Amino acid sequence: MKSLLSYLLAGLVFAVSSWVVHAAELQVAAAADLKFAMDEIVEAFRKIYPDDKIDVIYGSSGKFHAQIQQGAPFDLYFSADIAFPRKLEQQGFSVGPTRSYAVGRIVLWSNVRDASQMTLADLADPAIRKIAIANPHHAPYGKRAEEALRSAGLWERLQAKLVQGENIAQTAQFVQTGNAEVGIIALSLALNPVLAAAGGYHLIDDKLHEPLEQGFIITKRAGNNPLASAFADFISSQESRAIMIRYGFALPDENAAQ
C-alpha cells in the first residue's frame, strides 16, 4: 500500500515537473515563402529554449488571416503581405503593433531552361507553354507577379499560358514537377538548396511591382505568453537577420522600422 502511494506520488511529481519544464508552447503561422528560412530560424531559437514546444504551420497568408479571425490557436502570424496583419491589428486581434520583418522578391525560375539568362520578355516564347504564378487574387506573390507582368506589357499576351498555384510553394511545385516550364516564385524558395540545385533564377526588377513588404503580429491569445514575445525579439536578432538575408530577403532598416 505504501509503495503504491509512493508510485502515485512519484508519478505526480513527474507529471508536474514535466508540465513545469514544458511550460511554454508556441504555434507560429507562417507564409509559405518563409518555409526554408523560418525552419532555420526556429532551429536556432530551439537551441535557446530547448524544453519548449515550437510548431510552425506553413500556408497561405489569406487563409491564416481568416483562421485567426475565427480563433485559430496561433501565437504569431507571419504574413507575406503586411496588409493582412495590419487588418487584424485594426480589428483588435493582435497584441502590439504590426512589425515589418522583411521585403520579399520575385524571380523567374525554371528547371528545364536556364532562367538566369531569361528576361520577362522571353515568357512570350511559344516554346514556353505554361507559366506558373501564385493566385493574383489573394496570394501576395501572385499579386506582385501580375503587377510585374502588367508593367512589362505582357499580362494580356500571356493569359492563355498562366496557371495559378494556391500559394507560392505550390507554384514552385508546378514547375518542379515539369507541368509548367517557368514559374514566378519567391526568391527565398529559389535559393533553397533543393530548388537551387535544379535550376537558376532571374531576379525580376522590383521597380515593376509594389514592394512585397511582409509583416507579423503577436496574436491576442499570446498576450501573456512570454515565449511569443521572445520569438518576436529573436526575429530581429543578428542570427535571424543573417538567415533571412541568406534566403534573399531585404530587411527593414533596424532604426527606420519603428
Partner 1 sequence: MLTLISDDWAAVWLTLKLASTTTAILMVIGTPIAWWLARTRSGFKGLVGAVVALPLVLPPTVLGFYLLIALGPHGPVGQITQALGLGVLPFTFPGLVVASVFYSLPFVVQPLQQAFEAIGARPLEVAATLRASPWDAFFSVALPLARPGFITAAILGFAHTVGEFGVVLMIGGNIPGQTRVVSVQIYDHVEALEYAQAHLLAGGMLLFSFLALFALYTLNARPPKA
Would you tell me which residues interact with partner 1 (CB under 8 A)?
Answer: 60, 62-63, 65-66, 129-130, 132, 135, 137-139, 162-166, 174, 177-180
Closest approach, Cβ 80 to partner 1, in A, equals 12
The DSSP annotation for 157-217 comes to HHGGGEEEESSHHHHHHHHHTTSSSEEEEEHHHHTSHHHHHH--EEEPPGGGS--EEEEEE
Closest approach, Cβ 148 to partner 1, in A, equals 19
State which residue, 174 or 249, has the beta carbon closest to partner 1.
174
State which residue, 44 or 72, has the beta carbon closest to partner 1.
72
State which residue, 108 or 227, has the beta carbon closest to partner 1.
108
Closest approach, Cβ 107 to partner 1, in A, equals 20
CA distances from 19 to 14, 48, 142 (A): 8, 19, 43
Can you point out the beta strands (E) in the chain?
25-31, 53-59, 76-79, 94-104, 106-109, 131-134, 162-165, 182-186, 201-203, 212-219
Closest approach, Cβ 158 to partner 1, in A, equals 13
Place of cell 520569438: 231
State which residue, 133 or 187, has the beta carbon closest to partner 1.
133
Amino acid letter, residue 103: V
Asked whether the beta carbons of 25 and 49 are under 8 A apart, the reply is: no
State which residue, 42 or 88, has the beta carbon closest to partner 1.
88
Closest approach, Cβ 172 to partner 1, in A, equals 13
